[in-house]
């Protein structure tokens, strides 16, 4: 009993610092969006150039996630986590004090690189600190809820900070959070966290090929949404990404210590689960927030702060369902059934959202679908995260964490790029919201595909408890 009393606070502290760091890096994906206009005016960006304040972070984040995950396995989770925090915090400070466009974009890219190291390490810390069973699921539920909250509240936090202080506070707020997480890492990391999970050298060719592939593909897809698929630079980036991806696959089958061990994808929990996470990311990671934010601004006439507040129903419902309801149900229902139910509810919510955007009030256009979508997302995201990580061996925990985060980010980038083409050259503000409504029907269809693919997941429970009828 005394041993439990001594160890429980330490485990709780590890979860707290992992969640604080995860919240910080996910928040920064969207927190600068509403600050872009004052950044443009303050530093003299061009209208096109200011988008790189957001794009540099997204490119570096997505491009280096696989590498960041494997670094944690090879060099120790605590050391890699600490290095990522130092880089992210220092880059946030430089960005917040930047006085030229080039310095700010460079700082944002450095932030993204730090985030790519931190994000897989936070999940690895959670999955290796908490054992299999209900306790582990509850910890994953907290981590998942915090991740969802970070993405959902980015616009709110960015709008509030920019309104009350200035755009610089959007970046400088990371400094105290980063220092808090660094202090917690120094005080709470154990020998197990510092010890490498596997031996071998870093797969440099795989790291170069994988990073090049992801960065080029994300850049190509992002550019396609702005300049179209016929743009030469879009075609060049996507071709380069495809070639690098093929090279990455070839390297991984031959490397003695691969960046992404092929055996991981042969496991149904990881392979199928990652595919479902990519599909979910294509709906929930970026696109939903992006298009609803523009609808509230362009059609409903909301300010930046009002738009952020408009996402509160999404944030609160997703956190409550993901943190409390989903773990409770996972002890009673098969995880794959719960994922299917959550995706079905989310699909229905997106279909409702597509129909509701013709309404001219926030209550009629947003609130009802928001509750349904968020209930579905909360029900499916926690069990899906638990399933993907349930079969990972300790030496592969970082690689699996990097793969999971990559699937979400890449899925979100792909979804946004493809969906944006549906409304390109249109004027949603003059169409009473009908053009933005077009993107939610494909989102409903993608979630329906998740429902159909969910039975391919293994039936074993990640909770260690009973699962109901088999």
What would the DSSP string read from start to end of 91-114?
A: HHHHHHH--SHHHHHHHHHHHHHH
Q: How many CA atoms lie within 13 A of 35 on its CB side?
A: 30
Give the model confidence (pLDDT) of 63-75 as tens digits.
787 777 777 667 7
| 413 against 234, higher pLDDT | 234
Query: Please, which pLDDT band fits residue 408 given cuts at 50, 70 and 90?
Result: confident
| 392 against 248, higher pLDDT | 248
Q: How many CA atoms lie within 13 A of 20 on its CB side?
A: 22
- List alpha helices for 31-133, DSSP H: 36-43, 52-63, 65-75, 77-97, 101-129
pLDDT for residue 151: 66
- List alpha helices for 228-367, DSSP H: 232-252, 262-266, 268-284, 287-298, 304-310, 312-320, 326-330, 335-356, 362
Helix (H), strand (E) at residue 17:
helix 2-30
The pair of structure tokens assigned to 147 is 């991740």
Q: Which CATH architecture has domain 2-203+256-456?
A: Up-down Bundle (1.20)
| 47 against 378, higher pLDDT | 378
Query: Is the torsion defined by CA of 210, 242, 276, 320 positive or negative?
Result: positive
d(CA 323, CA 329): 11
pLDDT for residue 396: 66
Out of 50-59, 161-170, 176-185, the most confident range is: 161-170
d(CA 185, CA 159): 30
Residue 117 contacts residue 87 (beta carbons within 8 Å): yes
d(CA 284, CA 204): 32
d(CA 468, CA 470): 6
Q: How do the domains of the chain map onto residue ranges?
A: 2-203+256-456, 204-255
Contacts of 127 (CB under 8 A, 6+ apart): 136, 140, 389, 392, 397, 401
Out of 118-122, 181-185, 273-277, the most confident range is: 273-277
Read off the pTM: 0.75
pLDDT for residue 343: 95
């Amino acid at each position: 009993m005394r041993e439990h009393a001594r160890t429980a606070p330490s485990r709780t502290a590890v979860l707290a610092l992992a969640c604080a760091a995860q919240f910080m890096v996910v928040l920064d994906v969207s927190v600068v969006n509403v600050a872009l206009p004052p950044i443009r005016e303050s530093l003299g960006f061009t209208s096109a150039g200011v988008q790189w304040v957001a794009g540099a972070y997204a490119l570096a984040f997505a491009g280096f996630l696989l590498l960041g995950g494997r670094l944690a396995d090879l060099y120790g989770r605590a050391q890699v986590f600490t290095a990522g925090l130092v880089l992210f915090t220092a880059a946030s400070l430089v960005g917040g004090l930047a006085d030229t466009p080039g310095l700010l974009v460079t700082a944002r890219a450095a932030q993204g690189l730090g985030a790519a190291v931190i994000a897989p390490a936070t999940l690895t810390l959670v999955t290796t600190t908490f054992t299999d069973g209900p306790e582990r699921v509850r910890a994953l539920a907290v981590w998942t809820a915090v991740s969802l909250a970070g993405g959902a509240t980015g616009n709110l936090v960015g709008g509030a900070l920019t309104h009350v202080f200035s755009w610089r506070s959007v970046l400088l707020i990371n400094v105290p959070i980063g220092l808090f997480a660094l202090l917690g890492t120094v005080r709470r990391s154990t020998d197990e966290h510092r010890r490498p999970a596997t031996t071998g050298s870093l797969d440099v060719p795989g790291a170069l090929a994988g990073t090049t592939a992801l960065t080029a593909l994300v850049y190509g897809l992002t550019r396609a949404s702005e300049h179209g698929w016929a743009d030469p630079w879009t075609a060049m980036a996507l071709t380069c990404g495809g070639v690098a991806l093929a090279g990455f696959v070839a390297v991984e089958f031959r490397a003695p210590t691969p960046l992404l061990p092929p055996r991981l994808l042969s496991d149904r929990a990881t392979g199928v689960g990652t595919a479902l996470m990519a599909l979910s990311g294509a709906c929930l990671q970026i696109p939903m927030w992006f298009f609803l934010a523009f609808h509230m601004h362009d059609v409903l006439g909301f300010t930046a702060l009002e738009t952020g507040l408009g996402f509160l129903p999404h944030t609160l419902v997703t956190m409550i369902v993901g943190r409390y309801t989903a773990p409770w149900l996972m002890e009673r229902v098969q995880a794959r059934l719960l994922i299917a139910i959550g995706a079905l509810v989310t699909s229905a919510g997106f279909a409702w959202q597509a129909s509701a955007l013709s309404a001219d009030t926030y209550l009629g256009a947003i609130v009802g679908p928001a509750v349904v979508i968020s209930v579905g997302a909360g029900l499916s995201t926690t069990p899906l995260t638990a399933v993907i990580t349930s079969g990972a061996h300790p030496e592969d925990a970082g690689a699996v964490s990097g793969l999971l985060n990559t699937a979400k980010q890449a899925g979100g980038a792909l979804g946004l790029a493809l969906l944006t083409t549906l409304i390109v050259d249109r004027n949603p503000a003059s169409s009473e919201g009908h053009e933005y409504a077009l993107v939610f029907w494909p989102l409903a269809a993608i979630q329906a595909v998740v429902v159909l693919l969910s039975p391919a997941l293994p039936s074993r429970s990640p909770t260690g408890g009973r699962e109901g009828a088999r």
